[in-house]
Structure 1
Amino acid sequence: MNLTKAEVLEKANKACKNTLMETLNIEVTDFGDNFLVARMPVNSRVYQPDGVLHGGATAALAESVGSFASHIFIDTDKFFVRGTEITANHLKSIKEGFVYAKATFLHKGRTTQLLDIRVTDEADNLISICKLSTISLPKK
């Protein structure tokens, strides 16, 4: 069954119901052979006490988009994905609008994956750089 891009995005976003992604209003917006993009609104739900985007929320966005990217490129009937390590370097603050996370594969192995995740604002300013390692494990 070949789905259109719009159908894949709709299916991906429906899978986020009752998850952290829904809580943070993370929405998958684009994908290709080697990348996946999601966005998250910056508002009081994701602020740290001084009113800017919390680094933990940024890391949650990065891990969500990276894990999701690994997830859509495996046979989910046979395997599941887990994040094993994430690093985040926060470079700039943001108080409003959206942040976009683009996960790109640096390594797409059968068992392990390494993703580079760039978090930017609506003007394409770099907010954070993250790296995520994931592992695909067989379902029992």
Structure 2
Amino acid sequence: MSDVEPGSLLPGWMDGMVSALDAKMGLELLELSAERAVGRMPVAGNTQPFGLWHGGASCVLVETLGSMAAHAHARTLEKVAVGVDVNATHHRAAREGFVTGTATALRLGRSVTMHEVVLTDDAGERLCTARLTCQLVRPAS
């Protein structure tokens, strides 16, 4: 079960926790739970000088989706998720349309989460495979 309605940008319980960067990059959050987060960003406005989807944009999408899913799990433990490791392998480029990311939980522990994040283009071709590890910590008082 998803915590957000498809097409919604921000779920209510995440208000104030999503960065301005996500909004600037045009993130659309499509699905969110601890087990799976799906979102997309437009290629337009997120390119490198040669007009190709920027690798840094891939990492932003990976970090955002993985962190949101990790936070969905962490909140059940009265904790917050902080990213400690992100790695990404870029397979191919995109020049137009949208890049869609799907974060799938690999581990939902009491102190660590791991999500695999696959980015695809509009044709369903894999652009990037990544993994995000988050540490779950008590919120600062």
- Place the TM-score, normalised by the shorter chain, in its bin: 0.7 to 0.9
What is the TM-score of this pair, normalised by structure 2? 0.85
Task: Measure, in 1, the Cα distance between the counterparts of 2:11 and 2:47.
Answer: 26
Gaps of 5+ in 2: none
Q: Equivalent residue for 2:97?
A: 97
Q: Deviations over 1:64-111 (max 9, x none)?
A: 000011111222793221110100100010011001110001111011
Task: Measure, in 1, the Cα distance between the counterparts of 2:59 and 2:3.
Answer: 30
Residue 100 of structure 1 aligns to a residue whose secondary structure is: strand
Aligned residues: 137
Gaps of 5+ in 1: none
Q: Is the 8 A contact 2:34 2:105 kept in 1?
A: no
Question: Counterpart amino acid of 1:62?
Answer: V
Question: Counterpart amino acid of 1:66?
Answer: G
Residue 124 of structure 1 aligns to a residue whose secondary structure is: coil
Identical-residue share of aligned pairs (%): 27
Q: Equivalent residue for 2:5?
A: 6
Q: Equivalent residue for 1:117?
A: 117
Residue 65 of structure 2 aligns to a residue whose secondary structure is: helix
Q: Equivalent residue for 2:39?
A: 38
- CA RMSD in angstroms, aligned pairs only: 2.6
Q: CA 1:33/1:87 → structure 2, altered by over 3 Å: closer, same or farther?
A: closer
Question: Counterpart amino acid of 2:134?
Answer: T
Task: Measure, in 1, the Cα distance between the counterparts of 2:34 and 2:78.
Answer: 21
What is the TM-score of this pair, normalised by structure 1? 0.86
Moved more, 50-59 or 26-35: 26-35
